[in-house]
Structure 1
Amino acid sequence: MSPTSNTSELDPDASIPLTSQKTQETIQETPSTQVSNTETNSEADTGSQRLKITASNGLTALKKLVVTEPKKKRVKRDKSFGQGSNEVSGSSVKPIKRTGSHGKLAMLPSLPLDILFEIFGHLSPADILHLSRTTKSFRRVLLNKSAISVWKAAFGNLQEDEAPTPCPEELSLPVWANLLFSPHCHSCSASNIRSIEWTLRMRLCGKCTKAQSIPQKKFKKEVKLDIILLRCLPFQRRVKDGKTNTYCLKSHKEAFIKELDNLVGDRNKFIADRTSEMKARAEHAEVCEAWSDRLAEERESALEDIRDERRYFITERLYELGYAPELKFLDDVHFTKRDLVAPLDYDLEMLTDLEEVRVAKPITERIWNGRVKDKVVDFMEIVKYFREINDRKLLMQRRREEVAKAWPVWLAGQAQRYPPGYFLPTVRDIAEHPILKAQIEKDGEAALSQPDILGVLDTMHDAIEAWRKEKSALLSSLVPEGSRADLIGDLNPAENLEWMERAMAVFNCNKRLEEYPAGPSIVYNPDKPHEEYLTYRQGQPARSYGEPTCMWFPTYLHHPSSRLAYPDWWEARYHVNEFFKVEGMPIEGIEGAPGNEKLRRAKWNCDQLVFDEKASGLVKRILEACGMPVTATVKELDAADPRLVCLKCTHGKKCDGERRVSVLTWRKAVKHALKSHWGSNTSRFERISDSDAQKARELEAAEYRTRHGGDPPKVGDAKTPHLRCLLCRDGRHEPMKPLSFIEMRFHFVRHHRASLKELDDPQPGSLLTTTEVWDKPPTQPILIQMVPKKGRPTTKQ
């Protein structure tokens, strides 16, 4: 026999091989251990026995071995000895090393059942359920039929709303408690399964549901067995992501079919009983679902209250730490969208999204100072960084707004120097000019006052002239070489802007809206021949709709595609640059066109302008027919107001006072040749006599009276739109179309109340309104036909 230590311990989880005398372990006396004869004999007797452990006597054998284990003498420790030395009868021994110890309640199952049941009767069903899963002894005791009183007492301890209904008759109390209080999958034992399939009376995870269920749609109503199964099987309805799915379990189907096949009695009665049973189960499931939903709502409400208290606590601490501006900034970023100059919501998460804030746990000062404060403060420092950037941009934005407000005021005071239609920078160009940009971006938090801005603008006359010459050179680069000799000649576009006023300077808008970003386009509306509208038709240039959009001076300089643009997406979302907003723009409402509130003033550009070489050539031939030089301006040609005949339509035959032909204005003649003759180089025109031209004007007025029942609009009539406001030129409230006198009064009441008296009784030298229209071509008369005679050129070429 091999020697062993002075103590022996029994592992309750290990098997005890006691099949032969040779395999027994004995305790051999050693020099350092004194064992009495009684203990030795006891061990010898134990070793000589043959024990057979079975399921029925395992606990008894364990108790016997524990009781017969030799008692250890109590050792008195001497402080003078080193650690690990004990004094027993004046000798030193080594300390006993324990590999394990029994719990204090390890002998609890050995108590009498009546005492155990009395103790367990004060617990809840969930406690008893958990207790039954601790050891096999508790499981045998608590899941025995004799413990039914314990379960009943436990369920009797529940409050009114802690269980949906009493336990169904077909379920035992332990099974009912397991269904109510054990959040695990009944198939794979997955944890944290909150939803209960009340009709199936079990909990299933998503994976097991998918693997073990059969959708209701798989059962066909024309198959007799499926009809029976639909009536006799429990079907669970689940709503997920807005979709309803009804299913049963494969095991229920197989068990029912097997039971139906082995049925001996009345089949119809069996099916009827099962149908009524399923109906009762469905009604019971509805009650349980209502209880479960109410319980979930109460739980969520309680958790939300805890979250609210936690958020309020953290917010109060942040206010105390001086983060009030950052909290307001976060509110603006995620909710109000006010006072924002940049789209920062993609860089900042919400305060409530932080793990330290959104967790549903109560918070105290100790928790706040321990681990929450540092993380939340770090986040607020990041918010502070972005807030300071935004505040700086917001300050510059407000300064630009003051510049935008001062610019129309300055222009109104400079009306003599810069008359209506004068080619000037836009308000966006002025706000971003280096001179004013330096004032806008200067350090400090002081706002710009209007007198200061007006003083700076008074020093910018040379800068404005330099800007005009720069844009003139840029615009002249669009003129092809074949037309430069006639249009520009020896002029230097960078020094002389007279070439832009010539009638041969014809431009078109070749705007395509899919080329974002860019401005809108103006097209001719055949239903309203006296007006042109903004269009939002996509995919084709504007001139493909109706008449060509030929533009002469000064219309092409003030065309919307040169001065207006769609806002950036963040400007539209955050309502930034509202002072550059355009109001009163007539827009053709087709195919869901966006409203005019989505247009902003832009820096002047000629990106969408193209020189119309064909139209320029037609104007040259019209000037030849009128006996005017190629350098004639638009103003001179409008003053002559000739009436022309297209010789291509008459097949080259000239006016002889016998042939009836269409009489055109010079602008209509250009558009007619472009539309009807594709701008052919062979198009020629003939000017009719002055007397016939006067007669043509009278016929045009008569035709207007015939069609519209009144005289043509005249400048000066109270209801005729012919006035433009000079106090808000290039400002936010500038009317984008001519106004009548009545409309102008309403405009002054709304935006210039102080100047209303001057409008009624204008003072000498005051310039409030003008009849000049610089951004739209003159209204063209209605086309008429007559028998004209050939006229003579007014001047020699």
Structure 2
Amino acid sequence: MVTTRTQNGVVRKATAKALLLADEDAFAIASDDEDDDGDFKVSKKRKVSSSKRQKASGNAAASSSKTKAAAKPRRRGKDLSLLPTMPLDILYEILCQLTPKDLLNLSRTNKLFRSTMFGNQMLIVWRAARDAFDAPEPPDGWTEQKWAGLLFETTCQSCGKRGVVNVDWLLLRRACGTCKRAHLIYGPRIKSRFPGYDPEMLEYVPHTHTSAWTKGWWSNRTNSKFYWDDDIEEVADVYNYGYDEDWIDDRKELIAERAEMVKVYQDWLEQMDKFKGNATAENREKRLEAVKARFREEGYEDRDLDKAISVYSSGIFAGTPHVTNAVWSRIRPKLEPEVQRTMNERIMADLKPLVDERMAILAGLYDAYLNKLRPSESCYCPPIDFLRVNPDVIKVVEADEDIDITEKDFQPIVETFGEYVSKYQDDTEKELLKLMPTGIEGVEDPLQLARVVLRRDRRARPELYWYTSNSMEPEDSFLIGRDMVCTHTWERRRRMELRPGVFVDVPSKYELNSDGSRACGSIIIIAGLPQETATIAEMDAKDARFVCKLCVSMDGYDVFTWRAAVCPFHSPFILL
């Protein structure tokens, strides 16, 4: 007879760290195979039309011999049917690498595995799995399998609810809050729940000091005792039908032993939680390093990767340390934008002094171009900032640091200043027409209507609400007509994201000033002109003057033109 290593009592003991890491990897692999949104990919069968089905059936007989010859052998699916047929020593070697939780899951596969895993010959496997985690030995009357279920699973032992973390070590039960409320009985209420039971028998029933409602704070009040109803009935069956001194001694010893072992169990659990947390943190660090290695292959630098991603980034916090091609293709789109943003911010921070110098050169050339124009033309030209987002300008001003940029490099852009300005003015005209209020259908030039009031777009640049509401200058808030809008300038600019992480200042946009438009409509009516169709030229030709009855001082009333009356509009205005 061949003596196996198991029969010799030599079974290789797996370390707790290896078992925990394997358990973490198994969970992470399952999570990696799923979509991050929680959706699984489900294949759908395509429906075949009846005509195609008939055609296929007609050709089936003619090609049946070819089909049988060309058919590939079917691949055997993954199952555990061969496991019980393995040699005993090999089977022991495999099972001794599993965690207690894996052994429990294996024993629930079918009846054959259950009878095998619960046999006496498997006790050495269960002990080896428990010893790998330095777990305490099971109490008297507990099997290795039952003890493993209490220590390593997180399901309620009464209802099967998952995610129950805490164990009541005095009762040796893992129960959810619902089951605790249903089964735990406060000591003084035993008589009402079990009227025929002798209260003295409670001395032999295990009890706890924490109920479902106290959530731990009652644990210091040892005079308050809570009993599990099944334990009461179990003791009552013996107590009411006869017992001896040995039984009493055993029950007292059991209760005393549980009280002594509570600290041992709690210390072990805290140690396991700490060890598992360390193993999980190690897995995350390895996954992070694997992701960084992938990014390095794409040309990114560590100084950008260290700042952009961490173990808490999406796709890194949970998962295996091994980043496969499938995992990389899924998490790369989530992480790469932030890496690119960080890289662009760093590059532009280093390049900003040169960019400012080069833009200053371009600004001098632009001023020279404006000086050649007539004042009536140059006043409609936008500030130099509008060229910052031009692709031709970007190539020059954001050139490498070792390239010396001079006026000569801007000459192709200088030669097309007129085209750039014309395009900007056309685009601005189109944007202004989109802002026109309703009810102007049929008007040839809506921008010449006196009741249309525009202002600088406050939404284009995030600002504090009290700053935007109190500090916007009147000349930015009340712009009437094309001439007033297109010749208006201001120091505040709009922030535009040129690319991820790179923001530039460009001329601000406009929006409709609804309050100003209503005020202007009232002024037009006071002037005696139709509100809907009155033009700026008609209001200027009327040259009316207005005073506000509420704006009176020692010197009398302030007098306003119609444009000035719109800005500090107060009711009632009167026409002089």
Question: Could you say which TM-score interval applies, normalised by the shorter chain?
Answer: 0.3 to 0.5
Q: Tell me the TM-score normalised to structure 2 length.
A: 0.40
Please tell me whether Structure 1 or Structure 2 has the larger radius of gyration of its CA atoms: 1
Q: Tell me the TM-score normalised to structure 1 length.
A: 0.30
